[in-house]
Amino acid sequence: MKNDPRQLNSLALAYIGDAIYEVYVRTYLIEEGQVKPQQLHNHAVHYVAASAQASILHHWLRADVLTEEEIAVVKRGRNAKSKSKAKNMSVSDYRHATAFEALIGFHYLMGHKERLNILQNTAISWINEQKEKPE
């Protein structure tokens, strides 16, 4: 890779992280037996929505899951200045979702496959736990 992922713009990390996490979620859903396109989309939204990503990131921060380097990536991602506006979500959720995606993108571009899989697996598990909780 030409550019060191540690030096890349956080929004570039989030851009690739969004795509990587989306593919991971879609693969997970298909492996779980979801095959109808509309079902796939409806289920995927639970995992990839900004509010879900923000929830995952808050969980990781509370549970002390992230390393110091990962926290630095998250802070850069959260503080990144984007020209796009948060649509149908709070600015806080939008920024935390961007930070989540930046962290996924960082690990992908660094080639940290094992850590990337661990984080994505814990993200899926966290959302599944939240869906099962009574409201």
Q: Which residues are catalytic?
A: 18
> What is the Cα–Cα distance from 92 to 19, expressed in whole angstroms?
21
Q: Where are the beta strands (DSSP E) in 21-130?
A: none
CA distance readout (Å), 117 to 5, 38, 49, 75, 132: 18, 26, 19, 21, 23
> What is the Cα–Cα distance from 55 to 63, expressed in whole angstroms?
12
> What is the Cα–Cα distance from 75 to 48, expressed in whole angstroms?
20
In this structure, what are the phi and psi dihedrals at residue 96, rounded to the nearest 5 degrees?
A: -70, -35
